[in-house]
Structure 1
Amino acid sequence: MDDGDVTPPLPEGSGSSVEAGDGQAPTASNTEMELYDLRVVVDRIEGRSVCGMEVGDCFTLEQSAHLRLPEGRHFCVYALASVLPFLAAKQRDLAQGDWLAQDSHFSCPDPEERLVMRVERTRRRRMNSADLT
């Protein structure tokens, strides 16, 4: 029987605290990762603009967790809340068949507005996860 790349489980009670990976505890040199910076843009409004947003309004998510709005602009908190749960996943490489890798449009929950946002990857950034936690 070919086990391929499957790593056998550690024996119960082995006392090892090593996480999955190369078998080494995380250090500053092996905690590098790559994340995408994102731009969330109002792609279209199919109803009436209840919150005062317009097509083209946007915000960016940079360096893992820095949310930025253009000077003098706003972004509806309900539209933000509807897309926010997906942003961490969109910042990472996803499996080719993953539906989130293929879909980039998200809707605000307001049925009167029918605001549709598009999530775009703008930059791939190398970061050290030890700097983020």
Structure 2
Amino acid sequence: MTTGDGDMELYDLEVVVDRIEGRSVCGMAVGDRFTVTGSNELRIPGDTHFCLYALSAALPLIPAKQRPLPACDWLERDSEVACPDPEERLVMRIERGALRSMDSSELT
């Protein structure tokens, strides 16, 4: 779905805790999530938190996953990212939502 009349397109993203294969020491649970909309808006639903270290693992992938990519690009096929804590082994899934048109002249 594309909305708006801009000159570029970005996907809305949802980053979801898919599984925790170790012991959860940061208070995260399967299903915890945050969303990224527009070019820079991060939202954590309700009165919850998201581990800073898990967030830092996902952030470098966000700009690429927001953009349409060639089918052969590994980021088009892969959607999982792991928290760097080896004891926790928390795995997040990056899901794409709506594809939105934006006007690049309104961004910095």
Shift of 1:71: 1.4
Q: Which amino acid aligns with 2:39?
A: S
The total of aligned residue pairs comes to 104
Shift of 1:64: 1.2
| 1-structure distance, mates of 2:99, 2:72 | 21
Match of 1:123 in 2: 98
Matched, 1:105 2:49: no
Gaps of 5+ in 1: 1-28
Q: Which amino acid aligns with 2:78?
A: D
Match of 1:56 in 2: 31
Matches within 5 A, 1:1-133: 32-133=7-108
Gaps of 5+ in 2: none
What is the DSSP-based 3-state SS (H/G/I as helix, E as strand, rest coil) of the residue aligned with 1:36? strand
| 1-structure distance, mates of 2:71, 2:38 | 24
What is the DSSP-based 3-state SS (H/G/I as helix, E as strand, rest coil) of the residue aligned with 2:57? helix
User: Identity over the aligned pairs, expressed in percent?
Assistant: 62
What is the DSSP-based 3-state SS (H/G/I as helix, E as strand, rest coil) of the residue aligned with 1:100? helix
TM-score w.r.t. length of structure 1: 0.76
* C-alpha RMSD of matched pairs (Å): 1.1
Q: Higher relative contact order by CA 8 Å / sep ≥ 6: 1 or 2?
A: 2
Query: Which ranges of 4 or more aligned residues in structure 1 deviate by more than 6 Å?
Result: none
TM-score w.r.t. length of structure 2: 0.93
Shift of 1:96: 1.0
